[in-house]
Structure 1
């Protein structure tokens, strides 16, 4: 029997609007982000996607999105600390337009920790271990999970299922409240 796992990125946040790298900085949802979360909840309900549990990052932008989805669909909700966004060290708060391409290039340096942040290698270990655990739970408990998290986590999540070049990896993106399906 096929089993699936779903991942989505939080609704629009204040720093998304301001064009800043968020990382582990806890920035709130905008009114648009809240509306996106309600739309996501409606989309899930209408799609007939079978979800048994919503699991989210501890950062408020993801937690608030997850709470809306879970409440509107009558689903259990749990926090997973490993779904927190990557710590981008010196790039936290970095304004995209002032330094075009700099952060994109830094994401290709897998062992670099951004001067005090978390390297891609460490992030990969964290996320790949979590996916392995969720796969095991999915098989044992016959459950399907929706993970509500962040762009960097979704990028790493995607790399677990698909082989990519460094360029493809650093360019992989997920829109706010976009849902991606993966098959175990």
Structure 2
């Protein structure tokens, strides 16, 4: 029996809308973000998906997204595990800054390197590799055993913590994962075999 892993990036946040580096800062969802979360919940319900386990980060926008999805799916009274291992990449000194203002301050090329390189962190922050270094051990110890046992696991998290998982699951290169866009509110669904390997990616 295969396990099913559902990865959902949070809906649009207030700082996504304002073009700000967010990281571990804690803005909530916009109206659009609320609707994105609800639509994903509706899509999962329409497919008859009922997860066995629920995980999210320690940040409000991911938690709110999961709550809205569960509401649309008609699911309540479940245990939700929240852990900082699933938090967004920490943008350090960039957090709270408008991305255009950051380009003025540090130069477009430098900001591009911080945003799109795999292992170069911004000042005081994390690279995508750093994010993977905390996200993947959590996946391997907490989520993968459930998937190997044939369970369905729903994770509501963030663009870069999910990129770390997608890179690992799909065995992508750093260049491939940096080119992968993970849209707000968009689900990625995998079937995982009993040996923990990707069996197939499922389109909703």
Alignment TM class, shorter chain as reference:
0.7 to 0.9
RMSD, aligned CA: 2.0
Q: Give every structure 1 segment of 4 or more consecutive aligned residues whose post-TM-superposition deviation is greater than 4 Å.
A: none
Deviation at 1:121, TM superposition (A): 3.1
CA distance in 1, matches of 2:96, 2:178: 18
The structure-2 alpha-carbon separation of the partners of 1:143 and 1:101, relative to structure 1 and needing over 3 Å to count, comes to farther
Deviations along 1:126-148, one digit per CA (max 9) or x if unpaired, are 111122121112334x4211100
In structure 1, distance between residues paired with 2:137 and 2:118 = 21
CA contact (8 A) 1:84 1:150 kept: yes
Q: Does 1:92 align with 2:101?
A: no
2:89 match: secondary structure: coil
Q: Of residues 118, 124, 132 in structure 2, which corresponds to 1:124?
A: 132
Q: Does 1:62 align with 2:62?
A: yes
In structure 2, what is the equivalent of residue 16 of structure 1?
16
Residue in structure 2 matching 1:148, options 131, 143, 156: 156
Count of paired positions: 182
Point out where structure 1 has 5 or more consecutive residues left out of the alignment: none
Answer yes or no: is 1:43 the counterpart of 2:43.
yes
- Alpha carbons of structure 1 residues 147 and 103: separation in structure 2 relative to 1, 3 Å: farther
Q: Distance in 2 between matches of 1:40 and 1:21?
A: 25
Q: Establish whether residue 163 from structure 1 lines up as the match of residue 171 from structure 2.
A: yes
- Once the two structures are superposed, residues 94-149 of structure 1 have per-residue CA deviations (whole angstroms, 9 ceiling, x without a partner) of 43344256444224151x33221223333212111122121112334x42111000
Call closer, same or farther: CA 1:3–1:109 in 2, change over 3 Å. Answer: closer
Kindly state the Cα deviation for residue 29 of structure 1 after the two structures are TM-superposed: 0.6
After superposition, the Cα gap between the structure-2 partners of 1:101 and 1:28, relative to the gap in structure 1 and judged at 3 Å, is: farther
Give TM-score scaled by structure 1 length. Answer: 0.88
Measure how far apart 1:5 and its partner are: 0.7
Q: Is there any run of 5+ residues in structure 2 with no aligned partner, and where?
A: 193-204
SS at match of 1:147: strand
Indicate the residue corresponding to 1:83 in structure 2: 86
Counterpart of 2:144 (choices 119, 123, 135) is 135
SS in structure 2 opposite 1:71?
helix
